[in-house]
Amino acid sequence: MKYFLYAIFFLISFQGQAQDFSAEQQKEIDSLNTLINNSNTPDTALAKAYVELSLILYVSNIDTLISLGLKASNIANEALNTDPDSSTKMVLLKILSDANGNIGYAFNNKGDIPTALKYFHKGLKVDEEIGYKLGIATAVNNLGVIYFNQGDTSKALEYHQKALKLREEIGPKQIAYSLVNLGLIYDLRKDFAKAIEFYEKSLKIHEENENRKGVATNLELMGFTYDKQADYTKAIECYQKSLQINEELGAKVGIASSLGYLGGVYTKLGTENGLALAKKHLQKSLELAQEVGYPSLIIRASKNLSIVYEKKGMGMKALELHKLYTKMKDSINSEATQKSTAQQQAKYEYEKQKVLDDAENDKLLAIEQEKKKKQQILTGATAVGLGLVIVFLIFVFNRLRVT
């Protein structure tokens, strides 16, 4: 099972429209559809097929993670209610974990934080129940991403360090994503040298594994850090390389992200040519971000476009873009969303402790029942022994009387 997604802050690339799949991808899509449309397909294979199909189609439409994930989840839950054997139960629980994680990831990227948290915690609960280490690492990572996005770097660091430790036990491909997230935290804390160090380590792993999406992400992040240090030459170089890879991959959100960052650099340059390039890049970024419904990219593009229009003396247009920026930012950073995070965390900790308490109570009850059982056996054995002694004494007494 390919447990999905590493929820890297704001950079994982999605597309909003249908794309041309490779021959290999199309072959897999056809194979999965054959399983799904076969009424004789077992529940485990059917649920797994929905999850696997969503991992291919999400690049065209992120909502497939939700719709197909819910189908997989419903099938897995119904099958679990039939009391399957232990092996089948384990497979179904892993599928359920994957589906919940994917659904949570989709809602997170659509800006619905409360629902994202709900599904991340549901997935984590299942992962811990079955000791699914990869699932635990991914769920913990995704929770760290949410705390990061809300500016709680201490909590985010705690979760991402835990995720890294778990992933080190799994393999280098997993480590790369935790390194990126840790780099983001140090970047936010203005420890830029530390951030670049983590990004370069992650970039090396992605290059070794020919993960072009991962390479594009790391290049963009490095550009972002150079950008914050006003090293615009290096920043533009990284962003352009990232943009080229995203265009080759046909990843619309990746393209929108790289364009947005390039537009931001050109805006800071402030020259006539720079503002012209900024407007061109940012308008395209905003169009793509709105097309795929990606809040963080809309925020970035609208903010910088507002600045560009203000510098060009177009006050009304600048105000219009600033209002869009404010609206999108408020939707992500609302007080209600932050309260939901705390409530979900408290609920999770309570439920986790309750599971532990219930398990401990069950253990104590089993021990007590075992003691009672042993006592009953001992009492029975004693009674039988006494009975045999009495019978023996009666027998001896009768012989004496006969003699």
- 305-325 confidence digits (pLDDT tens): 999 999 989 999 999 989 998
How sure is the predictor about 379, in pLDDT bands with cuts at 50, 70 and 90?
Answer: low
- Model confidence at 50: pLDDT above 60: yes
Q: Answer with the residue of higher pLDDT: 212 or 377.
A: 212
Q: Answer with the residue of higher pLDDT: 293 or 370.
A: 293
- Model confidence at 7: pLDDT above 70: no
**Residue 336 pLDDT:** 54
- Model confidence at 367: pLDDT above 80: no
Cβ proximity of 161 and 149 under 8 Å = no
**Residue 338 pLDDT:** 61
**Segment 319-339 mean pLDDT:** 77
Q: Answer with the residue of higher pLDDT: 396 or 361.
A: 361
- Model confidence at 16: pLDDT above 50: no
Q: What is the pLDDT of residues 256-273, one digit of tens each?
A: 999 999 999 999 998 989
**Segment 216-229 mean pLDDT:** 95
- Model confidence at 278: pLDDT above 80: yes
- Model confidence at 394: pLDDT above 80: no
Q: What is the pLDDT of residues 188-213, one digit of tens each?
A: 999 999 999 999 999 999 999 899 99
**Residue 58 pLDDT:** 86
**Segment 107-122 mean pLDDT:** 88
- pTM (predicted TM-score): 0.60
**Residue 381 pLDDT:** 52
How sure is the predictor about 397, in pLDDT bands with cuts at 50, 70 and 90?
Answer: very low
How sure is the predictor about 229, in pLDDT bands with cuts at 50, 70 and 90?
Answer: very high
Q: Answer with the residue of higher pLDDT: 391 or 48.
A: 48
Mean pLDDT of all residues in the chain? 82
Cβ proximity of 175 and 212 under 8 Å = no
User: What percent of the chain clears pLDDT 70, i.e. is strictly above it?
Assistant: 77
How sure is the predictor about 15, in pLDDT bands with cuts at 50, 70 and 90?
Answer: very low
Q: Which of 110-119, 146-155, 211-220 has the highest mean pLDDT?
A: 211-220
How sure is the predictor about 327, in pLDDT bands with cuts at 50, 70 and 90?
Answer: confident
How sure is the predictor about 347, in pLDDT bands with cuts at 50, 70 and 90?
Answer: low
Three-state SS for the chain is: CCCCCCCCCCCCCCCCCCCCCCHHHHHHHHHHHHHHHCCCCCHHHHHHHHHHHHHHHCCCCCHHHHHHHHHHHHHHHHHHCCCCCHHHHHHHHHHHHHHHHHHHHHHHHCCCHHHHHHHHHHHHHHHHHHCCHHHHHHHHHHHHHHHHHCCCHHHHHHHHHHHHHHHHCCCHHHHHHHHHHHHHHHHHCCCHHHHHHHHHHHHHHHHHCCCHHHHHHHHHHHHHHHHHCCCHHHHHHHHHHHHHHHHHHCCHHHHHHHHHHHHHHHHHHCCHHHHHHHHHHHHHHHHHHHHHCCHHHHHHHHHHHHHHHHHCCCHHHHHHHHHHHHHHHHHHHCHHHHHHHHHHHHHHHHHHHHHHHHHHHHHHHHHHHHHHHHHHHHHHHHHHHHHHHHHHHHHHHHHHHHC
**Residue 225 pLDDT:** 96
How sure is the predictor about 18, in pLDDT bands with cuts at 50, 70 and 90?
Answer: very low
How sure is the predictor about 109, in pLDDT bands with cuts at 50, 70 and 90?
Answer: confident
- Model confidence at 223: pLDDT above 90: yes
- Model confidence at 390: pLDDT above 80: no
**Segment 34-50 mean pLDDT:** 95
**Residue 32 pLDDT:** 95
**Segment 295-299 mean pLDDT:** 89
Q: What is the pLDDT of residues 232-247, one digit of tens each?
A: 999 999 999 999 999 9
- Model confidence at 14: pLDDT above 80: no
